[in-house]
Structure 1
Amino acid sequence: MASVTVRNPPEETHRALRARAAAHGRSTEAEIRAVLESAVRPEERVKLGCSLAVSWPSMSLRPSPMRTYAPERAQPV
């Protein structure tokens, strides 16, 4: 896992993070990870599959059964 160091955050920001972490029942470090995750990967982001389903509802986005190809094997002589 990658590591990130944030130096010299404003005291007010650090205090708010500690309070938020306590309210969520997790460590300050875990709270910072959660804040970063929600900032860069929000749940309300548009996902490609959902966008396609809305744009082209007549297209089936369900997986179709794959056809397999099994060549006939020659019988040993």
Structure 2
Amino acid sequence: MASLTIRMLDENLKSQLRLRAARNGRSMEAEARAILAESLREPRVEQNLALVIHRRFESLGIESLPIPTRQPVRNPPDLTMIKKDK
């Protein structure tokens, strides 16, 4: 396997990497490898928006949402009392 050295790494960025690695139970080196692998993975291109939305909420196990009863249509507001600036 190849090695990579990163010079001039900002201290704040290094600190964030260290904290993220600790949260994920990995070394900083393993976390950096995981971040690189994830960021360079080929993006999935979904063309069907309905299918994307369905897959996003599929894990909830909801077949359909309840449709609320319709309310009567309101009368439009009376705007005749509003003065127009000329």
When normalised by structure 2's length, the TM-score is: 0.49
Instruction: Indicate the SS of the match to 1:20.
Output: helix
Give the RMSD, CA atoms, in angstroms.
Answer: 1.3
1:14 & 1:45 partners in 2: Cα distance? 30
Larger Rg: 2
Question: What is the deviation of 1:45?
Answer: 2.7
Partner of 2:44: 45
Residue in structure 2 matched with residue 3 of structure 1 by the alignment = 3
Instruction: Name the counterpart of 1:52.
Output: none
The count of corresponding residues between Structure 1 and Structure 2 is 45
**2:27: which partner in 1?**
27
Cα drift, residue 8 of structure 1: 1.5
Q: Which has the higher contact order (CA 8 A, sep 6+)?
A: 1
Unaligned ranges ≥5, structure 1: 47-77
Question: 1:31 Cα deviation (Å)?
Answer: 0.3
Q: Normalized against structure 1, the TM-score is what?
A: 0.54
* Structure 1 residue ranges (4+ consecutive) displaced by more than 2 angstroms after TM superposition: none
